[in-house]
Amino acid sequence: MNVLEYLAVLLQTGLGSLAAYLAAHVLLCLLPAFFIAGALSALFPKEAVTKYLGRDAPKWISYPASALGGFVLAVCSCTIMPLFASIYKKGAGLGPAITFLFVGPAINILAITFTGVQIGMDIALARITLSIVFGIGIGLLMAWFFRREEEARSQAAGNGRAFSHGASVPARTWVFFALLLAVLIAGTLQVGLLTDSYATFTLPSTWAGGFQSWLDTVVPPNPSLGIEGVSVHGMLLIGLLVLIGVAAWLGLNKVDEGVNGWTFAALGLISLTLVVASFKVVAVDNGPSTSSGQGLNVGITGKLIAEIVLIAAVWWMAIRHFGAYEVQDWLWEMWRFVKQIIPLLLVGVFLAGAARSIIPATWIETLAGRNTVWANLIGVLFGVFMYFPTLVEVPIAQTFLSLGMHRGPLLAYLLADPELSLQSILITNSVIGRKKTAVYVVLVTIFSTLSGLVFGWFVK
Amino acid sequence: MEIKILGGGCAKCERLEELTRKVVEELGVEATFAKVKDLDAIMAYDVMSTPALVIDEEVKSSGRLPRKEEIAEWIQAAQ
């Protein structure tokens, strides 16, 4: 194969996975997840969690609080380091601080939903459960190893005033979170009640069938490599996403100063896109002779009804029960996450897709095709030395999976990648010192390898 | 007046500085700006989460982006 053809293949698989990804995964999973992350960041008072992390808190409260606190506190990576440092220096001490550092990146809402939809609910659940259990375990071990220094330090530490402010979360905020979460779950949960069509109709169109076969030649589906094709429905959704991008840029960049027409256009388009994505659409082509046999077969799914009701409820609550500034703040945070994460994610998905046609499947199979200690260790080491920005580890993992990686080592990789990159090791080092960091890194390596191995025994 | 923005260069911190500078300009107040990025220095203010706004060594807000009117009130009160 000459170089040009080779490049063309790379470009095609890269673009193909990008298009399939945008049409299939981003919408019902990532769109609501960004709104939830924004709401956690803007509407959830951080003091509601940090009050449990002060130095007076008993162990059985401070460890679970720092493990679960990652869910609400760590939605932005820039908040992790100051919190980690202050829990360590002024708060409950080394143990809970380490627990927070370990669990935080794995437990955020974007990472969980994205892993669940793209790789599988089993891995997503294992990722949460194991990181909480091991996070607390590693924290307790660290506190025990360095118990002498800890005692000396807690006497020298300053006051814990930063932790004494308490705050409670108002009921309307809980209800609002529940609604947003329901939008996410209704769109992504694969159960018959939601995915079945209760009524179908056919939109007559003469071009749909032809357009679909053209799409199949441009982006050929290749199940053996895990490459999905793109449907007519998918192209429509990609078009809507582009429109959302334009409207959001004009309407959300300065939304904390005030809303404008574009803000409503963007929000309207987002709602519309979620609804359109919930239809089940199949292009049918029964041959050119019968004009009635051609068109788009549209199914009204349970998901569709659920999404319409829930999105309407979210709009109603945001307008009726929250102040204008709270809503603006929420939207600003949401859009900030999008701007921070989406560009990296698109590049990551493209490269991970293109990589599928470069990396020979036999390599992955030989290195990590079976669930062995060695394979799990390789998964962990790869996670440590390859630094991928937030969430990009997920498409990378999917590439490995389609190339024949065992789910055990895959989980080991997914656990280690966000927790333990060279960059985070350096920062940890500056806060807790070289010796403790070294022990932490060793513990994380051992525990991630173990959890991959144990998980691998349970799945075939 | 001495205004300090605590926080390690995240998007929110930049935005807080931008908003505060705008308010200072609108009110026509004399103020010096400083960015505090060092973790130890930030924690000396007993601040858990960034960005935080400090006016004349007093922490006015932390962990969130205050609205413009709030910032204006604090600055007027500090004069």
Please identify, among A339, A356, A373, the residue that sits at the C-terminal boundary of a domain: A356
Burial of residue A235 (CB within 10 Å: 0-12, 13-18, 19+) is middle
Same-domain pairing of A30 and A179:
yes
Answer yes or no: B53 catalytic: no
Whether residue A208 lies inside any domain: the answer is yes
Chains A, B: CB pairs < 8 Å: 65
E strand segments, B1-79: 2-6, 32-36, 52-55, 58-62
Nearest residue, CB atoms, A86 vs list B8, B9, B48: B48
Same-domain pairing of A255 and A345:
yes
Query: Residue B61 is part of a domain; what is its CATH number?
Result: 3.40.30.10
A82-101 pLDDT, tens digit per residue, is 778 878 877 888 999 999 88
Whether residue A303 lies inside any domain: the answer is yes
Residue A336: list chain B partners with CB under 8 A. 11-12
Question: Which chain A residue shows the shortest CA-CA distance from B69?
Answer: A257
Same-domain pairing of A348 and A365:
no
Sign of CA dihedral B10, B15, B16, B18: positive
A322-357 pLDDT, tens digit per residue, is 988 889 989 998 998 888 888 888 888 888 888 877
CA A173 to chain centre: 22
If you search the block for the tokens 């939605």, which residue do you land on?
A75
Are the CB atoms for B52 and B61 separated by under 8 Å?
yes
Burial of residue A60 (CB within 10 Å: 0-12, 13-18, 19+) is exposed
Q: Residue A215's pLDDT is what?
A: 81
A23-79 pLDDT, tens digit per residue, is 766 678 888 888 998 888 888 877 777 788 877 788 889 999 988 887 777 666 566
The structural domain count of chain B equals 1
Indicate yes or no: CB of A162 within 8 angstroms of CB of B68.
Answer: no
Provide the shortest C-alpha distance from residue A435 to chain B (in Å): 20
Q: Residue A409's pLDDT is what?
A: 93
Phi-psi label, residue A332: left if phi above 0, alpha if psi -120 to 50, beta otherwise:
alpha
Strand order in A197-204's β-sheet?
A197-204, A294-301, A280-285
Q: What percent of chain A has pLDDT over 70?
A: 91
Q: Residue A289's pLDDT is what?
A: 45
Q: At a CB cut-off of 8 Å and minimum separation 6, what does A34 contact?
A: A110, A334, A337, A338
Indicate yes or no: CB of A85 within 8 angstroms of CB of B12.
Answer: no
Same-domain pairing of A209 and A283:
yes
**In this structure, are strands A280-285 and A294-301 parallel, antiparallel, or unpaired?**
antiparallel
Q: Which domain holds residue A227?
A: 3-43+173-356
Residue A83: list chain B partners with CB under 8 A. 48-49
Answer yes or no: B2 catalytic: no
CA A45 to chain centre: 22
Q: How far from each other are the two terminal CA atoms of chain A, in whole angstroms?
A: 37
This model of the complex carries an ipTM of 0.74
- Rounded to whole angstroms, the Cα distance separating A106 from A280 reads 32
Residue A73: list chain B partners with CB under 8 A. 49
Nearest residue, CB atoms, A162 vs list B10, B48, B64: B48
A304-328 pLDDT, tens digit per residue, is 999 999 999 999 999 999 988 889 9
Please identify, among A291, A322, A356, the residue that sits at the C-terminal boundary of a domain: A356
- Both structure tokens of A190: 């694969």
Which among A78, A163, A337, A427 is the top mutation candidate for probing chain B, defined by the most B β-carbons within 10 Å of its own β-carbon? A78
A395-433 pLDDT, tens digit per residue, is 888 888 888 899 999 999 988 887 777 777 887 888 888
The structural domain count of chain A equals 2
Same-domain pairing of A342 and A266:
yes
Same-domain pairing of A332 and A389:
no
Whether residue A133 lies inside any domain: the answer is no
Same-domain pairing of A419 and A388:
yes
Please identify, among A326, A356, A386, the residue that sits at the C-terminal boundary of a domain: A356
Please, which pLDDT band fits residue A294 given cuts at 50, 70 and 90? low
- Count the alpha carbons within 13 Å of A321 in the hemisphere toward its beta carbon: 15
Element (H, E) at A200: strand A197-204
Same-domain pairing of A278 and A426:
no
Indicate yes or no: CB of B46 within 8 angstroms of CB of A162.
Answer: yes
Q: SS3 sequence, A159-181?
A: CCHHHHCCCCCCHHHHHHHHHHH
Q: Which domain holds residue B33?
A: 2-78
Q: Identify the weakest region by mean pLDDT among A58-67, A189-198, B29-38.
A: A189-198
The catalytically annotated residue of B13, B24, B54, B75 is: B13
- Rounded to whole angstroms, the Cα distance separating A10 from A18 reads 12
Provide the shortest C-alpha distance from residue B6 to chain A (in Å): 11
- Rounded to whole angstroms, the Cα distance separating A409 from A377 reads 8
Q: At a CB cut-off of 8 Å and minimum separation 6, what does A256 contact?
A: A328, A329, A332, B15, B19, B65, B67
